A and B are shown apart, each in its own frame.
Chain A
Amino acid sequence: MRHRRLDLVLFFLYCGLYAGFMGIAAFRQDWMAWPVLGGVNLAIAYGMGLILGAIALALVATLVRRGEGEGR
């Protein structure tokens, strides 16, 4: 149950990041043009971050729940 709660926390954390991306893309285009990573703009860095962040969250959640759910 505790881990189910962790799942939902991680899910809503990601939802927040995704919503932030949509909000900036729609209402703050000028922010998306900021160079933030070695000359790469925020649009690319944030987009890559969402992809790599999803992989990282998936790994974290799986490591925490190792062995759980076997045989079900």
Chain B
Amino acid sequence: MKIRLRYFGMIAESAGKNDEVLELNDGISAKELKARQIERFELPDPESVQIAVNQNLEEEVELKDGDEVAFLPPFAGG
């Protein structure tokens, strides 16, 4: 299945890109993908990373084809 990943702020900086599409095996959870990408990019301060699946903050969910997973660093609006 194809999953679109998007990276923001300091995570995009560490990843060296804003987005990518990954071909993943069925059955992977958002949480597993998060751990995998944190390790792959050696993201600093991994506890601060939140992920949004199709714009909802959640990680205890199994991914399905076409999902968009966003990697979000701490919010800094205002």
Q: Say if A and B assemble together.
A: no
